[in-house]
Amino acid sequence: MRRRDAGSWARLRTANSEWLSPWEATLPREAGRPATSYVGMIGTLRRRGRLGQTMPFALTWNGEMIGMLTVNGISWGSARWANVGYWVARSHAGRSITPTAVALVCDHLMSTAGLHRIEIAIRPENAASLRVVEKLGFTEIGLAPRFLHIAGDWRDHRVFQILAEDAPEGLVARLPPISPD
């Protein structure tokens, strides 16, 4: 994620606001104000990245930003796990771009960074995201009631995980090739 991508990010978010709003994390009133700009968001992500707490990635297609994937809550020591969140532009949904991005990042997290467990939490009605974890072979481990503040209220999420030993060959190996369309 680069500061100079602010214009592209803003146009992408504006064009996809209706598509993303049902799944968009929001801050409850007592949490204070969210970052008000892309530059502020990038600054926060970079600070947390230097501390080993997060890894932000831009999703691109033919050199154009089309989404974002963020690894959050990285825990080292004896736990060695993190959670992954993502979004993609409506124009690029359904092309296996998101599962490929998730697979690439999870492979990096498990093989290079040495994490043991990756978790993804998904609202039960988010069929597109449920397809991502299904394609990659994540295991459902439960329901987290009122897990995350989304679209102005606390929402339930289904929780999925993949362990390093579940995918010794990596997750990318589980994917069919991406169509060039």
The 3 state secondary structure assigned to the chain is: CCHHHHHHHHHHHHHCHHHHHHHCECCCHHHCCCCCCHHHHHHHHHHHHHCCCCEEEEEEECCEEEEEEEEEEEECCCCCEEEEEEEECHHHCCCCHHHHHHHHHHHHHHHHCCCCEEEEEECCCCHHHHHHHHHHCCEEEEEEEEEEEECCEEEEEEEEEEEHHHCCCCCHHHCCCCCCC
Taking only the tens place, the pLDDT of each residue in 38-68 is: 778 888 888 999 998 999 999 999 999 999 9
What's this model's pTM, rounded to 2 decimal places?
Answer: 0.90
Q: For residue range 126-135, what is the model confidence (pLDDT) as tens digits?
A: 999 999 999 9
Confidence band for 169, pLDDT divided at 50, 70 and 90: very high
* pLDDT tens digits, one per residue of 142-159: 999 999 999 889 999 999
